[in-house]
Amino acid sequence: MAPTSTSQTPFGRVLTAMVTPFTTAGALDLDGAQRLAVHLVDAGNDGLILNGTTGESPTTSDAEKAQLVRAVVEAVGDRAHVVAGAGTNDTRHSVELARAAEQAGAHGLLAVTPYYSKPPQEGLLRHFTAIADATGLPVMLYDIPGRSGVPIGTETIVRLAEHPRIVANKDAKGDLGRASWAIARSRLAWYSGDDMLNLPLLSVGAVGFVSVVGHLVSPELRAMLEAHLAGDVAKATEIHQKLLPVFTGMFRTQGVITAKAALALQGQPAGPLRLPLVELTAEETEQLKRDLAAGGVQL
- The pLDDT value given to residue 299: 86
Amino acid at site 126: R
Judge whether 11 and 189 are in contact, CB under 8 Å: yes
Query: What pLDDT is attached to residue 166?
Result: 98
Q: Catalytic amino acids? A: 142, 170
20 is in an annotated binding site: no
CB proximity list for 16: less than 8 A, separation 6 or greater: 40, 45, 47, 48, 49, 210, 211, 212, 214, 215, 218
Q: What's phi and psi for 253, nearest 5 deg?
A: -135, -165
- What are the domain boundaries of the chain? 14-229
Per-residue pLDDT tens over the stretch 40-55:
999 999 999 999 999 9
pTM beyond 0.85, yes or no? yes
Residue 197: the pLDDT is 98
The region of weakest confidence among 2-11, 22-31, 142-151, 213-222 is 2-11
Per the annotation, does 210 bind a ligand?
yes
Average pLDDT over residues 145-162: 96
Average pLDDT, the chain: 97
pLDDT band per the 50, 70, 90 thresholds, residue 16: very high
pLDDT at 4 over 90: no
Q: Is the pLDDT of residue 2 over 90?
A: no
Angle at 139 between CA 209 and CA 191, to 5 degrees: 15
The pLDDT, as a whole number, for residue 263 is 98
Report pLDDT for 6. 72
| Residue range 14-229, CATH number | 3.20.20.70
Q: Would you state the pLDDT for residue 1?
A: 65
Distance CA 111, CA 94 (A): 8
For 59-92, write each residue's pLDDT tens digit.
999 999 999 999 999 999 999 999 999 999 999 9
pLDDT at 179 over 80: yes
Spell out the residues 6+ positions from residue 4 whose beta carbon is closer than 8 angstroms to its own: none
Q: What is the pLDDT of residues 240-283, one digit of tens each?
A: 999 999 999 999 999 999 999 999 999 999 999 999 999 999 99
